[in-house]
Amino acid sequence: MILIIEVMKKNLCLTIYIMICMLSSSMSAQNDDLGIDTRDNVKSLAWLVDLYEVGTDVSGDTVLINTETRIILDNEDYRDSIYPEVYTWSATTRLMSNQELKKAFWYLLNLYVDDDNRDLVIKSILTYNSLFHMDQIMEATYKTYALLDPEIGEYVNGKSLITAPHILEKKLNALKEILFFIEKYDEKTPKIK
């Protein structure tokens, strides 16, 4: 755990990916003798990398999308689970219990838009901030889910068409406020060492 947190501090997802490759190849023989399943270690590191991975990124005139974004585009049932008509605390806590944290953080961002939820959303995110760099994860979450949000627009012929820029701006402002609180209280929230 200490090694993973040190890697996260350096914000090097590539390093984590390399660690996954190294773990899967070099430790399999050692772990077989100890009865440790290397696949579980690799899955854990892949899960961690996913938290920090941006779903949609623009490089020059090219839009890069990851596997998560591709699934959202291709699978209507999955898309409906990411973008429900109403974001609820019960669904958010279910996602957290299932360790689907990136989706849960997207739900938290949407819950934050409602003034009644703001304090609890911030407290929830700051709790996770003791384990992760929540500023980076929240930005990655936004960049993974916002552009495909049907509340904001639609995806037609390979292009994201923004039909409700005011809602996109509202969610972006929510992200900015959340990031402000994370930065403000980051020094007060000790990281696990």
Mean pLDDT (whole number) for 164-183: 96
Q: From 10, 34, 52, give the residue that closes a domain.
A: 52
Whether residue 11 is found in the same domain as residue 70: no
Measured CA to CA, the distance from residue 64 to residue 5 in angstroms comes to 27
* pLDDT tens digits, one per residue of 117-135: 999 999 999 999 988 999 9
**Are 66 and 128 members of one domain?**
yes
Would you call 63 helix, strand, or coil by DSSP? Answer: strand
87 and 158 co-located in one domain? yes
First to last CA, the chain: 8
Is it the case that residue 83 has pLDDT exceeding 60? yes
The stretch 72-100 carries a mean pLDDT of 95
Within this chain, do residues 104 and 79 fall inside the same structural domain, yes or no? Answer: yes
Same domain assignment for residues 153 and 130:
yes
The model carries a pTM of 0.76
Which of the listed residues 31, 52, 73 is the one where a domain comes to its end?
A: 52
AA identity, residue 126: L
Is 10 a residue whose pLDDT tops 90?
A: no
Highest mean pLDDT among 4-13, 48-57, 94-103, 154-163: 94-103
- How far apart CA 148 and CA 67 sit, in angstroms, is 14
As a three-state string, the secondary structure of 74-135 is HCHHHHHHHCCCCCCHHHHHHHHHCCCHHHHHHHHHHHHCCHHHHHHHHHHHHHHHCCCCHH
pLDDT in tens, 149-168: 999 998 888 777 899 999 99
Angle between helices 38-52 and 134-145 (to 10 degrees): 80
pLDDT in the model for residue 149: 95
C-alpha span between 93 and 88 (Å, rounded): 9
38 & 69 share domain: no
Q: Give the model's pLDDT for residue 100.
A: 95
126 and 81, same domain (yes or no): yes
Residues 46 and 89 in one domain: no
Higher pLDDT, 123 or 60: 123
Same domain, 19 and 112: no
Angstrom distance (rounded) from CA 14 to CA 12: 5
Check whether residue 96 and residue 156 sit in a common domain: yes
Identify whether residues 91 and 25 lie together within a single domain. no
> Number of structural domains, the chain?
2
Integer-rounded Cα radius of gyration of the chain:
18
- If pLDDT is split at 50, 70 and 90, which confidence band does 47 have? confident
Question: Where in the sequence is the domain holding 24, given as residue range(s)?
Answer: 1-52
